[in-house]
Amino acid sequence: MIKVLVVDDSALIRKILTEILSSDPNINVVGTASDPYLARDKIKQLNPDVLTLDVEMPRMDGITFLRNLMKLRPMPVVMVSTLTHNGGLVTLDALEIGAVAYIPKPCLEGEGWFAMREEICDKVKSAAAAKVAAFDPDRFVQKSVIQPIDRAVQLSDKIIAIGASTGGTEAIKDILMQLPGQMAPIVVTQHIPKAFSTSYAQRLDRSCQINVVEVADGMRVSMGYAYLAPGDQHLRFEYSGQNLVCRLSSAPPVNRHRPSVEVMFDSLRQVFKGRIVSVMLTGMGADGAQAMLRLKQAGHTCLVQDEASCVVYGMPKVAFELGVTNVTTALRKMPEVILTELRKKV
């Protein structure tokens, strides 16, 4: 039984979240709090496994409370944030500080919440199993970039494809920040709402030597760029002449996700004429694992994050159990492993 403390200044939201979470037989809402000061006392009294935390609250905002909490008593936190530009920025701040996941506040106070019941319960259960570390200020410090690839190495016939879910926003950032600007193209599918994906791509672009952009339909895939799938569309590919281009699709979710890692992996396998280096990072569920197996069977390279460094060992675990991996490695070693694979002659 997962013990949850709901923290929100709105009595209505506290009631709705309590009702939704209590509908799952594996979740027990042990208490609620209307502000961080009350939450602090209830954490001591009730010792919850997971905290749901609103961003905007009286007396102390959610981000300040989260930073204090992750320094003094690290625990799994699921942020509750509005689907706005500012809400997206604050949510990304929370993930950097150590929040495990987020619940986007729907526009409709009642009906919208209950339509997300399964997603909300899944996120809380996933958070309960997540590995949580104390807040590390060094996370905000620019990481050293790995030595660039020798110009004699052929990169134009290679592409890197990265898939991730829970914990992935920071894992992807940790990898891209260490890669040099001279790189084979990188395509990324991270499970993220559209309201957050634009801000996320912009933040990555400011932090990395490689150029990071959110995909627009018809965008040409070029060396030195990383392409992030928008939060509400699948990322596919096709050739226009000799150029590989991105195609966006609003087709139904696959494995309950849009964008889906499986869609991206399968499209690359079916279309790309060169070598694919696929990477599966932290995340709950199994999205992309079967597609990664098909990549392996087609002779492409499959890299999987190891259990110890995953926030949630879900998607990588399924891929590993399917036997798809060429290399299983810790997140901190993944950038060098990617470059090693790119240097190999096929």
Helix (H, G, I), strand (E, B) or coil at 39: helix
Q: How far is CA 44 from the centre of its chain?
A: 30
Q: Could you identify the residue written with the tokens 């193209």? A: 185
Q: Among candidates 46, 45, 4, which has minimal Cα distance to 22? A: 4
Q: Among candidates 83, 152, 71, which has minimal Cα distance to 116? A: 83
**DSSP per-residue string spanning 55-103:** SS-SSS-HHHHHHHHHHHS---EEEEEESSHHHHHHHHHHHHHT--EEE
Distance CA 55, CA 80 (A): 7
CA angle centred on 342, ends 294 and 149, rounded to 5°: 160
Among 34, 165, 197, 199, the active-site one is 165
| DSSP classification of residue 110 | T
**DSSP per-residue string spanning 170-235:** HHHHHHHTTS-SS---EEEEE---HHHHHHHHHHHHHH-SSEEEE--TTPBP-TTEEEEPPTTSEE
Residues near 241 by Cβ (< 8 Å), separated by ≥ 6? none
Active site annotation includes 278 = no
Active site annotation includes 157 = no
| DSSP classification of residue 143 | P
Among 8, 24, 266, 287, the active-site one is 287
Among 49, 191, 260, 266, the active-site one is 191
Active site annotation includes 300 = no
Catalytic residue numbers read 165, 191, 287
